[in-house]
Amino acid sequence: MVKTEMISENSKQNIVFMITRAATFFSVVVLFLVFMFVFMEGAAVININFLTKMWSHSDIRQGGIFPALVGSVFLGMGVAIVSIPIGIGTAIYLNEYAKNNLFTRSIKLAIRNLAGIPSIIYGLFGLSFFVLFLQLGTSLVAASLTLGVMTLPWIITASEEALKAVPLSFREGSYALGASKWQTIRGNVLPHSWSGMLTGSILGISRAMGETAPIIVVGATFFMSYLPTSPFDKFMALPYHTFILATQHSSQYARGYALGTALVLICLTFILNLGVFIIRYKLRKKKEW
């Protein structure tokens, strides 16, 4: 009796486990399909010209996405400048200085909420605050601030984890030697956590560079005859460029070019992610605790 029950339980288990395996590999397959579809038609379009020339409107086969690449890179730098110092600072505060009181709890609540706010709401906020209220206009700086604020919770969380990973004993040892709080942080905690903070920041920036909705509202353009040179210039950006090639362009080649731009965007994100993965892997081998 027991044996037959066990057998049917076993076969149930096998089926269930197969299902879970399938579910997991579904996710992997999806990622693979995404790359494949984008690559199929997008790769044909990519060559040195595509990557380095200015966008030509009249014949898109002549021009390239250079201004969009430049715009995206500048945007990434802008986001880094805005969000990394504040993000790391907040993480240090929360992990090293904060006491468990209302102020701290409110900050933590705020961070969790900021992480959940839809990107278009950041667009609305960016429009009403940075573009209109502060009169920065639709520009690189307004977009950097908007995306920077959006990336903040991500960087704070990643940096906090990096700080938490440093054992308490490191700090205690330093205090025992008579060092002050800041000396301890600077000398014993940060050196061991900066790589985690770095990788978290890179991931955050790469997410920001892929965002489209907020920049539609705060500064990206369809066509520019020049490269942005000041933070107050407008800019072209890879995700917005992909979007308009998909929906607005009238050339019959637009479809291939949309996929090509998408491919460049994915590769950029992929390279950043890969870099983070490699850094993490190497460091895990080095860590002694």
Partner 1 sequence: MKKYILALLLGLIIVTAGCSTQQEVTGAAVGETVKIRESLEIKGSDTMVQVVSALAEEYSRQDTRARMTVTGGGSGTGIAALINGEADIADSSRAMKEKEITEAKERGITPYEFIIARDMLSVVVNEDNPISELTFEQISSIFKGETTNWKEVGGNDQKITLYGRQSTSGTYVFFMEDVVKGDYSQKMRNLEGSQAIVEAVKQDENGVGYDGLGYVVDDEGKIISGIKAIKVARDQNSEYISPLDASKQAKYPISRLLYQYFAKKPEQGSALYNFLRFELSEKGQDIVTKSGFLPITVTEKKLNEQRLG
Partner 2 sequence: MSSCKNLKEKIISVIFSATGAIALLTLMGIFIFLFTTGIKAFSHLSPGEFFAGREWNPAAYQDPKWGILSLLISTAMITLGSLIIAIPLGIAAAIYLSEIARPSIREVVKPVIEMIAGVPSVVLGLLGVLFLAPAIADLFNLSSGLNAFTSSIIVGIMVLPTIISISEDVLRSLPKEFREAGLALGATKWQMIRMTLLPAGLSGLAAATLLGLGRAIGETMVVLMVAGNSRAMPTSFFDPIRPITANIAIEIKEVVKDSLHYQTLFAMGLVLFGLTFLINFISDLIIQKQVRKYQW
Using CB under 8 A as the criterion, which residues of the chain lie in contact with partner 1 when the complex forms?
56-58, 101, 103, 134-138, 141, 220-226, 230, 232-234, 244, 246-252, 254
Give the other-Cβ count within 10 Å of 99's Cβ: 6
What number of residues does the chain have? 289
223 contacts which partner out of partner 1, partner 2, none, CB within 5 to 8 A by kind? Answer: partner 1
269 contacts which partner out of partner 2, partner 1, none, CB within 5 to 8 A by kind? Answer: partner 2
Nearest-approach distance from CB 113 to partner 1, in angstroms: 17
125 contacts which partner out of partner 1, partner 2, none, CB within 5 to 8 A by kind? Answer: partner 2
Q: Is 180 exposed, middle or buried (0-12, 13-18, 19+ CB in 10 A)?
A: exposed
Is 62 in a helix, a strand, or coil? coil
Crossing angle (nearest 10°) for helices 254-286 and 66-92: 30
116 contacts which partner out of partner 1, partner 2, none, CB within 5 to 8 A by kind? Answer: partner 2
Give the other-Cβ count within 10 Å of 269's Cβ: 16
Q: Which is nearer to partner 1, 196 or 219 (CB)?
A: 219
Nearest to 93 by CA among 159, 150, 172, 173: 159
203 contacts which partner out of partner 1, partner 2, none, CB within 5 to 8 A by kind? Answer: partner 2
Nearest-approach distance from CB 13 to partner 2, in angstroms: 4
Nearest-approach distance from CB 80 to partner 1, in angstroms: 16
Nearest-approach distance from CB 116 to partner 2, in angstroms: 5
Q: Which is nearer to partner 1, 103 or 277 (CB)?
A: 103
d(CA 213, CA 120): 6
Q: Which is nearer to partner 2, 128 or 169 (CB)?
A: 128
175 contacts which partner out of partner 2, partner 1, none, CB within 5 to 8 A by kind? Answer: none
Nearest-approach distance from CB 27 to partner 1, in angstroms: 29
Q: Name the token pair of 247.
A: 């929906």
Contact by Cβ (8 Å): 68, 237: yes
Q: Which is nearer to partner 1, 22 or 77 (CB)?
A: 77
Contact by Cβ (8 Å): 241, 81: no
Q: Which is nearer to partner 1, 145 or 276 (CB)?
A: 145
Nearest to 204 by CA among 282, 147, 139: 147
